[in-house]
Amino acid sequence: MDSENIKNIKKILVGVDDSEDAQLAFRVAMRRAIELDATLVITSILEKDEMNIYQAMS
C-alpha cells in the first residue's frame, strides 16, 4: 500500500486476546489510528469451550 492510500484509511480493525502478540498488535494499531486520525475498532472472540479443528468444521 502506498503512502497516498494509507492516508485514506478511516478505520482500523484489530483483534485482541491475552497473548503478547495481540498486545503488540493493539499498540501498533493504536499508534496508527492516532497518526491517521482513524477510528480504532477492537474485537475479541471469547470461546466457550475448547474444541479441535475437526469439531469446529462439523
The tens digit of pLDDT for each residue in 8-30 reads 999 999 999 989 999 999 999 99
Task: Output the CA–CA distances (angstroms, integers) from residue 14 to 1, 18, 19, 32, 54, in the order listed.
Answer: 18, 13, 13, 11, 27
Q: Record the cell numbers describing residue 16, joined without a space.
A: 485482541
Query: Burial level of 22, CB count in 10 A (0-12/13-18/19+)?
Result: middle
What domain count does the chain have? 1
Task: Tell me which residue range forms the domain holding 8.
Answer: 3-57
- How many other β-carbons are positioned within 10 Å of the β-carbon of residue 9? 15
Q: What is the pLDDT of residues 39-58, one digit of tens each?
A: 999 999 877 767 666 766 76
Q: What is the pTM of this model?
A: 0.71
Q: What's the distance, Cα to Cα, between the start and end of the chain in Å?
A: 38
